[in-house]
Chains A and B, each alone.
Chain A
């Protein structure tokens, strides 16, 4: 049995039988640059940026590679501005979860979602920037998409784009450093709801769903965000459903029709955890339940 991919053999350790270092992640050097310029220079020459480190530890590089520790940079912290919150990339998920300003966004939809991500042990290391840069199975991404979050990254220059565009343009696969995510405060006449369907409390979602509805005149839907995740898309925005909802009242009939459309439109895939057909059915159920809860909240 060879070392796991991405891991190399260490030199012989001290002669202690209870210490058996099997193999170590293929890290050639750990760099701790003092500023963003130093960090991006390293990243552009092939070093992997790391904040919490859990993901790289689980999926280390195939060849000895330098890692760049971002936690020394001033990328940590949550700032309130008039339009919403700006969260530094190396802010841990726990720090976000415990912050009352985050809890105030969307009646706690971000906080509620974070409480279901992984375990407290993982959240104490995982950072929002690392999570977004990884761009894989996620509960965080659908909620941020539903809230029209924007992401700021550095590649020598600073860029800010909507999160959906960030993924659509495959920015997360480029040699960049995510520096912040900005969550605009939703309008007071809106509600956002997240639901995660998993086998147990510490599990990847079989399916998750984030929905946001903004109302005009307290009745008709002015904007809709319907995002279903783990499908395999990071968060599939169901445009058909969003379009169907626009301009309509949030009635039971409209919700039911939207749910049926969601079931049909979601790009579901089968894997060892669930079949595509089951995921499609779940999508309809979760969308309907999210929208029903939204309707109860804002009417």
Chain B
């Protein structure tokens, strides 16, 4: 059976249907399916002692009082734990992040950094004991901003001698990445119009409702079993094995249902400690972050300062694009290089008209909470800079914002030199766009949104001014030539199938999407595909859920494995029906030929019990050769109260090209949730710090995420599009939505009141001050 083409879409019976989630019933009835619900009798509870100082050496640490506390079984510090350097980043080996982290270090580098861990019979005892650990710190001057990190003579945060892959530790530079095509200086000089803009983004946190949680135990064979809320079970297994000096095969990692991740769980953050406790004590261990720790001691989005300069012809065609970025990775460099790479690689190729392009990115360390992977992964910050500059250009040239995008965006069949120049921390992969419906996103989105009419409407001159803005986006579908996903499909004796996938459904519904792909190939309903996922003992390899990889990369592996199984099924049916496989069709659980039909159950039973039994099964791997971007046009309408500075988003529309939407409701849900998160990032979310580097608002009362009453109507349009290299024509969709709100809202505010907001979140006071400064 050949791969499907766009013409086959009309015949799909499962793909393209909004099937109920395979885990939906368990979730809706409150079954104990999350890691924190596991009943592991005899578990020790782990509490963390974290640093109260932003930058200090640990001169002495006295754990005797803690060790003597009733119920305490194990205390971990730098004195009794592995000393090797690693990265916590859940990435493929060799990880493109600096190895600058020790499990427990002799130095603390941010308020919230690990100092010690206590395992006790109860969490209360563990915490009480942790408070009794006496630490003698030698306080050092902290570095609390990008500028402070780069200042001459700044304190050196990573002064240890065994760091690996740190660009310039002596100057607090974790990573540098650069890429170019053509000659940007010449391009700017040749341009008829030049605009330049600088934006600066804030510390933001994912705030998943489920904090990080892990439960570890030794199984009957003495192997360590890690049940974790992780996006990257295979990377956890490998990294924990290395840290604990165990063979990989002595560890099993299982991801159960997961209560949201958004990138914060693409990290080995707590599994190492729990596993070590279990290894040392022989007892199970449970370690769950509090909400405060989730804010301070997990991961955040990289704050970035990005300058973009655009040079264009009179008609708005871009001739030169220059992007210069500095990011703050916090105290450790997990994802530092790759997020910075994506800042350019997930934005610049969008406008491939410009022959002259340059990107330069620098990542600095600070003594602040650690930034990591967060939905959008640098593309969010980069898009804000680029789409702000595009808006400025459109205004400067008197060209409509939508028209300017239409004039400049990449098309199907085209490429950009940036694909090759800028990869995930190294050279990238050249690729040609094989599907792009961005033109339709712009056209249909603008029409449905009423862009022309609303843009022409006067903002008003009362206290509330209305405006509209838009932005255009791309992201990716997995990481070309680096990601690998595998899937195994086996057949049961009732004609149903088991699908084993290493991929991680973090609430996105990817298990359902993959089941639908398999079901479509195998000619069954999705109920006949039983998904087992994310168990390193049972499922074949998958990098995990990041880089928008699951639908495209894992989905391709699933499709390939299902096709192999389908071939085996048809071969058996052919012999039973005395026909040729190519003359058979699978319809409604039956295989029909000219001379009769057999049921899949017949085939399945025969495969177990004969005649001529043999397990029908296949495994397939998939490595993507490209990362076909999903595309999006985002439109926002805002009301700005010029007396208070309050911005209210009154309407939002995202028109998305994700190729075939395998499950339209789930695809919409991904965009809706991402847009809501993006609106919070634009208007209310910000981690604030004291002058000593302590987080001032590590709770959901003071760090404001959007609630149901805070959001506008969000309309999602999924374009008719087909990606030939995707499973059933699908691309991924999980990240791109979050990139739209910040630039679209900022551009709408400019339309409403003529001020250019460049530093989110656009809180009422910040807007009020900008309005006063502008004389309004």
Contacts and interface: CB of A to CB of B under 8 A. Distances in A.
A281 interface: yes
Given A197-B644, A199-B764, A204-B701, 16 more contacts: A1-B49, A1-B50, A1-B127, A9-B124, A9-B125, A18-B32, A18-B36, A18-B39, A21-B122, A21-B124, A22-B124, A22-B127, A201-B710, A278-B764, A278-B765, A278-B769
A20 B41 contact: no
A23 B39 contact: no
Nearest to A2: B131
A202 B768 contact: no
A12 interface: yes
A135 B125 CA distance: 35
Contacts of B121: 12
B363 interface: no
A44 B613 CA distance: 84
B360 interface: no
A200 B50 contact: no
B696 interface: yes
Nearest to A23: B124
Contact of A200 (B40, B42, B684): B684
Enumerate the 6 nearest inter-chain pairs by beta-carbon distance, A residue then B residue, closest first: A2-B131, A17-B43, A201-B709, A9-B124, A17-B40, A20-B123
Contacts of B71: 12
B763 interface: yes
Given A20-B123, A20-B288, A200 B696 contact: no
A201 B648 CA distance: 12
Given A12-B121, A17-B38, A201-B709, A1 B288 contact: no
A23 B129 CA distance: 13
Contacts of B688: 272
Query: What secondary structure prevails in chain A residues at the interface with B?
Result: loop
B768 A278 contact: yes
Given A17-B284, A272-B696, A12 B707 contact: no
A293 to B, nearest CB: 13
Task: Give chain A's interface residue range (CB within 8 Å of chain B).
Answer: 20 to 34
B39 A17 contact: yes
Interface in B123-144: 123-125, 127-128, 130-131
A15 B765 contact: no
Contact of A1 (B40, B45, B48, B125): B48
B123 A22 contact: yes
B50 A199 contact: no
A103 interface: no
A17 B286 contact: yes
B38 A18 contact: yes
Nearest to A288: B643
A201 to B, nearest CB: 4
Interface in A257-275: 272-275
A70 interface: no
Interface string A1-44: 11100000110110111101111000000000000000000000
5 contacts: A9-B124, A12-B71, A18-B36, A22-B124, A22-B290
B122 A13 contact: yes
A187 B607 CA distance: 87
A3 B707 contact: no
Nearest to B127: A1
B702 interface: yes
A287 to B, nearest CB: 12
Contact of B45 (A9, A20, A197, A272): A20
A1 B38 CA distance: 25
A16 B643 contact: no
Nearest to A203: B704
